[in-house]
Each structure stands twice: as structure tokens, then as C-alpha cells.
């Protein structure tokens, strides 16, 4: 079963319907909903709703894949919503703005690495499959796009840890110029440098130096503060 968000006039929807047992298509634009419904095949279910507010967990039968040309203005929060709230979706393949894709796949130490990359990579193996030129669109946008593939991974997180790790990551990146330790609650600043050293970092490390798994280890050492 496949989930498509923002199907528009259904060009991609038709291809998905030929290859999937069932397609859930979520669309908000009233101008295209009637077109979608009139052209929908028997294995396509059209849902009217706002992509960011839609209750994907209530879809029945539950989709296990996402395939979509995502609305660029909401792609980042939408992907994180899928990963955090819709556990049945194990494979995601979608097109987004290239700049957003780079923030998803960035590794520690790079300028694009931050909160988003750390959280996404804790939950998935992610890669950019290929870049898409503006010239393939009509009218062409001003930006390049990219097709991204995510596969939900066997997480390093234990049950119930994600929200705490997320709070730590948000705190750690609060000010990128500061030492990571100085971004943490004062109650753990004495203990955190030793944890960083044990992970192979210096006590003055900044947040962008830590791999996603390092944040998990740091959280476990100071979880009582988060």
C-alpha cells in the first residue's frame, strides 16, 4: 500500500495505481479534487485534508510506503511527521528542493548538518538518488530538486527514548557557535565533557561534530535532565 501526498492532477497517481495494490492520495486543493476523483481508479482512495494536520495513522489499510512529489514549502516538517508518527511507513521516496535534500543527508562537520539531519538519520538510512534540473518542469522553478530515498532503520534508540533525545538535540544546536556543553542545562555541564571525551570528542566540541548516535549516548548519560 502506498501513500501519496499532494497528488495534484494525478499524473504520478496513475503510475502508482498500476504498480500498487492500493494508493491513498491526500490532497487539499479543491480545484483539483474533482479532477482526481473523476479520474481515480478503483484502487485509489482520495482523501481531502491538510497534509500537515492529516491523521495518517488512521488510514486503513495502513500504507507501508510513501511516494510523492512533496509540496516544497512543507516538505521538511511533513517528512519528520511521517517518521515520528506513522511507524508503518518503512520506505519513503519523494522529491524535494535540493537544498532541503542536502540538509537531510548531511554528515557531521558540514555546514548543512544540524537538528534535521541528526533526527532523520536516527530513524532512517537516507540518500539522494539523483538531482532534478529545473528545465524538466513547465514552468521551470528557480531551484534544483532532488529525489530522496529513506528506509526506516533498526534504530539505535530504545523504547521511549526518542522524545528525550530530540529535546537534547534541540538544546545542543541552540547556538551553533557555542560549545555544546554550554547549550545544555547547567545541571549537566559538569558531567557532559567527560561523556564527550569517551565518545572521541574534545570537551569543547560543538554540536555539529557529533554523529546522531553520539547524541543517543550523551542522552543516556544525562537523561534525567531531559
Confidence (pLDDT) at 32: 87
The grid coordinates of residue 51 equal 497534509
Per the structure, the count of domains in the chain is 2
Mean of the pLDDT values across residues 211-219?
Answer: 97
Return the percentage of the chain with pLDDT > 70, whole number.
100
**CATH code of the domain containing 184:** 1.10.8.100
Confirm whether 157 is domain-assigned: no
Query: Residues 6 or more apart from 110 whose CB is under 8 A from it?
Result: 208
Residue 38: pLDDT band by 50, 70, 90 thresholds? confident
**CATH code of the domain containing 136:** 3.40.50.150
Confirm whether 113 is domain-assigned: yes
Q: How far from 185 is each of 36, 162, 171, 181, 205, CA to CA, in Å?
A: 51, 18, 8, 8, 16
Residues 114 and 184 in one domain: no
DSSP string, the chain: -EEEE--TTSHHHHHHHHHSS-EEEEE--HHHHHHHHHH--TTEEEEES-TTT--GGG-SSPPSEEEEE--GGGHHHHHHHHHHH-TT--EEEEEEEHHHHHHHHPPTTSTT-SHHHHHHHHHEEEEEEEEE-GGGSSS--SS-EEEEEEEE---SPPTT-HHHHHHHHHHHTSSTTS-HHHHS-GGGTTTHHHHHHHTT--TT--GGGS-HHHHHHHHHHHGGG-
The grid coordinates of residue 183 equal 547549550
**Claim: this prediction has a pTM higher than 0.85:** yes
Mean of the pLDDT values across residues 194-220?
Answer: 97
Confidence (pLDDT) at 156: 80
Q: How far from 4 is each of 86, 92, 107, CA to CA, in Å?
A: 14, 10, 28
Mean of the pLDDT values across residues 69-95?
Answer: 94
Residue 139 belongs to domain spanning: 2-152
Residues 54 and 96 in one domain: yes
The grid coordinates of residue 6 equal 499532494
| C-alpha 211, offset from chain centre | 17
Residues 114 and 178 in one domain: no
Residue 128: pLDDT band by 50, 70, 90 thresholds? very high
Asked which of 152, 175, 207 is the last residue of a domain, the reply is: 152
Confidence (pLDDT) at 159: 87
Amino acid at each position: 500500500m502506498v501513500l501519496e501526498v499532494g497528488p495534484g492532477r494525478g499524473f504520478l497517481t496513475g503510475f502508482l495505481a498500476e504498480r500498487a495494490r492500493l494508493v491513498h492520495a491526500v490532497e487539499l486543493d479543491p480545484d483539483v479534487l474533482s479532477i482526481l476523483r473523476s479520474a481515480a481508479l478503483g484502487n485509489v482512495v482520495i482523501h481531502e485534508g491538510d497534509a500537515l494536520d492529516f491523521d495518517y495513522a488512521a488510514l486503513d489499510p495502513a500504507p507501508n510506503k510513501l511516494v510523492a512529489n512533496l509540496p516544497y514549502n512543507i516538505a521538511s516538517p511533513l517528512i519528520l511527521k511521517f517518521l515520528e508518527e506513522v511507524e508503518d511507513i518503512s520506505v519513503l521516496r519523494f522529491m524535494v528542493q535540493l537544498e532541503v535534500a542536502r540538509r537531510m543527508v548531511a554528515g557531521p562537520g558540514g555546514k548543512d548538518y544540524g537538528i534535521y539531519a541528526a533526527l532523520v538519520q536516527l530513524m532512517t538510512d537516507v540518500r539522494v538518488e539523483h538531482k532534478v534540473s529545473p528545465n524538466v518542469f513547465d514552468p521551470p522553478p528557480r531551484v534544483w530538486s532532488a529525489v530522496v530515498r529513506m528506509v526506516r532503520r533498526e534504530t539505535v534508540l530504545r523504547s521511549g527514548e526518542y522524545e528525550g533525545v530530540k529535546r537534547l538535540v534541540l538544546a545542543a544546536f541552540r547556538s551553533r557557535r557555542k560549545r555544546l556543553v554550554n547549550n545544555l542545562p547547567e545541571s549537566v555541564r559538569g558531567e557532559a565533557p567527560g561523556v564527550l571525551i569517551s565518545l572521541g570528542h574534545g570537551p569543547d566540541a560543538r554540536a555539529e561534530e557529533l554523529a546522531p548516535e553520539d547524541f543517543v549516548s550523551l542522552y543516556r548519560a544525562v537523561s534525567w535532565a531531559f
